[in-house]
Amino acid sequence: MVKTFRSCLARACPSLSRPAILLLAAFLLAAAVPCYGLAGQATAPDTLFSVELTPGAVHTRYLLNGPNIMDVVAVDLDDPWLHFETARPHELTRTTELSRAADRPENRIIAAVNGDFFSFETHWPIANQLVRGEFVHGAPVRNRYHFAVDAEGRPFMDALSFRGSLTLSGKTVFPIKRINSSASDAGIVAYNRFYGEQTPRGGDLLEIVLTPRSPTSQHGSGVDLPMRITAIQESGGNSIPKDGYVIRIRDTEKASQIKSLTAIGDHVTFRAGFESGHLHLTDVMGGGVRILDDGQPYSGTNEARHPRTFVAMDRDTTTVFICTVDGRQLTSIGMSYREMADVLLQLGAWHAVNLDGGGSTTLVVRNEVANSPSDPGGERRVANALMLVSTAPGGDPERLEVQPESFTLYPHESQDLTIHAFDRFQNPVNVPGELKWEFDPVIGRLADGVFTPGTSDTSGTLTVRSGEISATTRARIHHYTSLSAEPESLKLAPGEETVITLTGRTADGVSRRIPVDRVRYRQPEDAVYLSHDGTVYATGRGEGELHLDIGSATASVPYNVSGDVVTRVIHDFSEGFDGWATPSQTHRSQILGVDPERSTLSRQSGRAVWSFVDDHDRDDDWDIRITRHLRQELGNLLYGSHVGVWVRADEEVVFRIVMRDGDGQLEAGPEVHLVPGQWQLVQTRLDDTRFEGYLNGDGRLTREGNQVNGFRITASGIGQGTTVTLEADRILASPFPIDESTRPE
């Protein structure tokens, strides 16, 4: 049906690009064909916006049942200026940084997504990757699907398993098992410039250095490369030629055989490709599950819903879709493989491969993050990326843009206005030299790109022109003659909090709510703290006044903090585990030493009970992260607050509270050794002397917005197959140390 709609629209609207036609067909079809969402109820997807990024590429955002936010960039590969490439950094890097590093005139990065799954230990992708005909990583993985493009830029999807070979001058062929791997059991391994400057150090091995015999126009997978042996070494740590390879042989017997058959200067042939053939693939990105195969949706049993990144293409492989679905958030909870497949079928996709998801899921459009990554710290560093590249030539400005598109100012504020210019391909070009601004002077004045508000409560439009092209921005100017606060005074107990509401009145009697973060105020130094969102926290005992200033008016709020301390419950496990990850939902890199599939999370007597089963196949020390999946985590806490939880374990383990600071980074509190069988209050004061960086933090907490992210458990000497039970009661917070009266019964 989508194909029929496309044909009709193509005839009716010949000026539309192929992606625009495909998405328009999907929009029309959505009105007639229900989309079955997460609740099992039929509902049509809601298109939040659709915009052309460049001729041949359209970015559309959908709101789906669940709720879920899905971003799709549809790409017409018949466009002569567009093609896909992969990128691989020297270390884990954000997708935006990869995009910006590759973006330049006549090589514009239109869109990019995070790529393959990767190891948190080695930082290398799991599956295969090629960049412009060169192998970044070669791995014999037979159950992982890949997205690839060939030398003509045509897309391809299949399970790809690496196969390489070294053919000596005597025609003897030796198989190469991997490219750029440090695994000790990897057999014969090849290293190139993507690994680094040198091979891994080590002895009792043979390394052969290869350089090209002559320049070659051939590139891509499965191509025979004529090489010359320039060095033979019996140890590792050798320099890797910029345009060559180092072959590493650990097997003593094979090393002896190869050494007896080779000499410096010999001509050999190197080949890197795939078991299934597939010659001349130039860019390959590894993935995981194939969620659409010749129009047949995923039929497995995995129904987990997570943030997702995936790439799809239509039946005739002329349109490629790069997609993300946000997850682990109240506004978007994530999708399963089958749900993704169902939506893609409506868009006209016929093949699709799942890439790395979870906290890695990131869509970058024109070098800016376009989706909402699930990690509270924002965009995660990843091992590689898939990028849509435009090689369109530069041109004259055909469009102007003013940033911000609209703004609001109060009397004490100002606004920088920035102008951008774009050519017919929507690529940035130099801003014309002669610009003319047009606006009513009652709004304010503009000097050196800085706009200052006038003294009237008003709004208006500012327009900038250059010849026949122009752009506008809208200004809203607030000007008040009086400022009032509700409540007019504060009486709190230590540990309590309340919210201040500010109201301004204009000269003509109009009253409006004023956000606290737009008002100037001096933070009191004793008993209260005023947050940017208007929340007042009672942090001690004392009295005084809050002074608030909006530039044209002021207000004062007296406060008195006295009485008994209030200990706040920021999570009660008797009310459920909403957002808490079970052991099987936790990434394997964050739950070391135990078997996540046999470990459980349950509720007993109103408490959380984790039962961790030691991994009997491995003799690793325990390092377990107990965490939450949702971005909306546990209770905003101020720097200086005390946070604690009552816990009990039946084995001696080390327990730490993990905080996520207001910038989204993880910080781990001090170690507490739990005495088996005893309830213990693990609490700490939120300050930099008690915390250290964990995963991505630096040990520094923010003044406000700190949240309990979960706990960390470490242990050594746990017997293989042993089960350790950990109970946790309520999580508590207080401006002062939490006392024993909160002990569980």
Domain boundaries in the chain? 2-137+292-390, 162-274, 399-475, 482-561, 570-742
3-state secondary structure of 552: coil
Backbone angles phi, psi at 584, to 5 degrees: -70, -20
Task: Answer whether 407's CB lies under 8 Å from 414's CB.
Answer: no
Q: Work out the angle at residue 373's Cα, subtended by the Cα atoms of residues 669 and 660, and round it to the nearest 5 degrees.
A: 10
Give residue 656's identity as a one-letter amino acid code. Answer: R
Number of residues written out for the chain: 745
Residue 244 tokens read as 């060559």
Task: Answer whether 47's CB lies under 8 Å from 72's CB.
Answer: no
Backbone angles phi, psi at 52, to 5 degrees: -80, 120
pLDDT digits (tens, 9 = 90+) for 438-456: 999 999 999 999 999 999 9
Give residue 75's identity as a one-letter amino acid code. Answer: V
Q: Work out the angle at residue 43's Cα, subtended by the Cα atoms of residues 363 and 49, and round it to the nearest 5 degrees.
A: 35
* 162-274 and 570-742 agree in CATH topology: yes
Which DSSP state fits 339? H
Work out the average pLDDT over 540-566. 96
The pLDDT assigned to 44 comes to 58
Of residues 17 and 675, the one with the higher pLDDT is 675
Residue 586 tokens read as 């936790």
Task: Answer whether 111's CB lies under 8 Å from 85's CB.
Answer: no
Give the confidence band of 169 by pLDDT, cuts at 50, 70, 90. confident
The pLDDT assigned to 340 comes to 95
Whether cis (ω within 30° of 0) applies to the bond prior to 737 is no
* Site of tokens 């946000």: 326
Conformational region of residue 4, where left means phi above 0, alpha means psi within -120 to 50, and beta covers everything else: alpha
Work out the average pLDDT over 174-181. 95
Give the confidence band of 36 by pLDDT, cuts at 50, 70, 90. very low
The pLDDT assigned to 23 comes to 52
CA separation, residue 205 to residues 184, 208, 237, 258, 513 (Å)? 11, 10, 11, 12, 74
**Domain spanning 570-742, CATH architecture:** Sandwich (2.60)
Residue 135 CB contacts under 8 Å (≥ 6 apart), including other chains: 128, 129, 162, 179, 180, 192, 194, 221, 272
The pLDDT assigned to 377 comes to 78
Work out the average pLDDT over 648-652. 95
d(CA 5, CA 119): 43
Of residues 330 and 657, the one with the higher pLDDT is 657
Portion of the chain with pLDDT greater than 90, in percent: 81
The pLDDT assigned to 719 comes to 83
Is the model's pLDDT at 29 over the cut of 70?
no
Buried b (16+ CB within 10 A) or exposed e, 388-403: bbbebeeeebeebbbe
Which DSSP state fits 495? T
pLDDT digits (tens, 9 = 90+) for 694-710: 877 899 999 999 999 99
d(CA 718, CA 706): 33
Is the model's pLDDT at 33 over the cut of 50?
no
Instruction: Give the DSSP per-residue string, 153-186.
Output: --EEEEE--EEEEEE-TTS-EEEE-EES---TT-
Which DSSP state fits 598? T
The pLDDT assigned to 217 comes to 62
**Domain spanning 399-475, CATH architecture:** Sandwich (2.60)
CATH topology of domain 482-561: Immunoglobulin-like (2.60.40)
- State the angle between helix axes of 18-32 and 337-347 in degrees (0 to 180), rounded to the nearest 10: 110
| CATH number, span 162-274 | 2.60.120
For 218, how many CA atoms within 13 A lie in the half-sphere containing its CB?
13
The pLDDT assigned to 17 comes to 55
Judged on CB neighbours under 10 Å (0-12, 13-18, 19+), 637 is: buried
Work out the average pLDDT over 297-302. 90
Is the model's pLDDT at 6 over the cut of 70?
no
In this structure, how many other beta carbons lie within 10 angstroms of the beta carbon of residue 506? 17
pLDDT digits (tens, 9 = 90+) for 561-599: 999 999 999 999 999 888 898 998 887 778 899 999 999
Is the model's pLDDT at 312 over the cut of 90?
yes
d(CA 701, CA 1): 55
CA separation, residue 573 to residues 342, 440, 576, 677, 740 (Å)? 36, 59, 5, 20, 19
**pTM of the entire predicted model:** 0.82
Task: Answer whether 416's CB lies under 8 Å from 108's CB.
Answer: no
Among 47, 61, 46, which Cα is nearest to 324's? 61
d(CA 578, CA 728): 15
What is the torsion angle, in degrees rounded to the nearest 10, for the CA atoms of residue 511, residue 513, residue 518 and residue 519? 70
Is the model's pLDDT at 22 over the cut of 80?
no
Average pLDDT score, the chain: 91
d(CA 583, CA 597): 7
Among 75, 56, 45, which Cα is nearest to 322's? 75
Which DSSP state fits 249? E
Work out the average pLDDT over 370-376. 91
